[in-house]
Amino acid sequence: MPHRRTSIKTLRKDKKRHQRNLRIKKDIKKAIKELQASILQKNAAEAKRLLSEVSSKLDKAVKKDIIKKNTASRKKSRFNRSLLRIT
């Protein structure tokens, strides 16, 4: 346990940030699962709507440095390709 006041505050901030990051990652995973389910059911209209939602969430996560830019780009690219296959 840290002794300095600044270290204690840093620890407290880190815990809050960690919780925020986990919440955002969990939200992204949930949206991705919904998208994958709609792609498997070949529901193109629903998948297109969910794709824009997932892309937005991935971009926001990149902006907040929660995931890396190339990871988000790769995921969006793969979902776009799979959406094109069902349309």
Domain with residue 31: its CATH number is: 1.20.58.110
pLDDT of 87 strictly over 90: no
- Name the residue range of residue 26's domain: 5-86
Please tell me the total count of domains within the chain.
1
Could you tell me if 58 and 75 are in contact, meaning their C-beta atoms sit under 8 angstroms apart? yes
Angstrom distance (rounded) from CA 4 to CA 42:
57
Tell me the CA distances in angstroms from 12 to 7, 43, 64, one per residue in order. Answer: 9, 44, 19
For 34-79, the DSSP string reads: HHHHHHHTT-HHHHHHHHHHHHHHHHHHHHTTSS-HHHHHHHHHHH
pLDDT digits (tens, 9 = 90+) for 26-84: 999 999 999 999 999 999 999 999 999 999 999 999 999 999 999 999 999 999 999 99
